[in-house]
Amino acid sequence: MHTHSDTLVPAADVPPVRDPYGLAGPDRRDGDYLLAPPDPAARVGGPLGPADRRRLDLHAALTIRGIAPRPGDQFAVNAIGSLGDAVTAAVLRWIAYDG
């Protein structure tokens, strides 16, 4: 029986791993960047208006369903969001319907 142990490199002869992308360092763990906590003073002030909230709800529902926006979709989303809570709620139900 032929063994291939002569092709293995002993661990002591293996060169150290080089980090070509600079991912290892004091400000990183496991190759991930450590992000600073958000600065509350840098937040956008003021509450969202009802139409903006509905528009964001529509975008979130479409994103969750994997529906990619197409040119002109922003106009349609804005128009639906401006029609009120009842219309937006119906459209959100339609988007979420699994049949």
Read off the pLDDT of residues 6-62 as tens digits, 9 standing for 90 and up: 555 566 666 666 666 655 555 555 556 677 888 888 877 778 899 999 999 999 999
Query: Is 25 among the domain residues?
Result: no
Confirm whether pTM is higher than 0.75.
no
Cα distance between residue 91 and residue 99, in whole Å: 15
Query: Is 77 among the domain residues?
Result: yes
Residue 47 to residues 50, 52, 91, 93: CA-CA distances in angstroms? 9, 10, 23, 25
Number of domains into which the chain is organized: 1
DSSP state of 74: H
Confidence of residue 4 (pLDDT cuts 50, 70, 90): low
Q: By residue range, what is the domain housing residue 63? A: 50-96
Using an 8 Å Cβ cutoff, are 78 and 53 in contact?
A: no
Query: Is 85 among the domain residues?
Result: yes
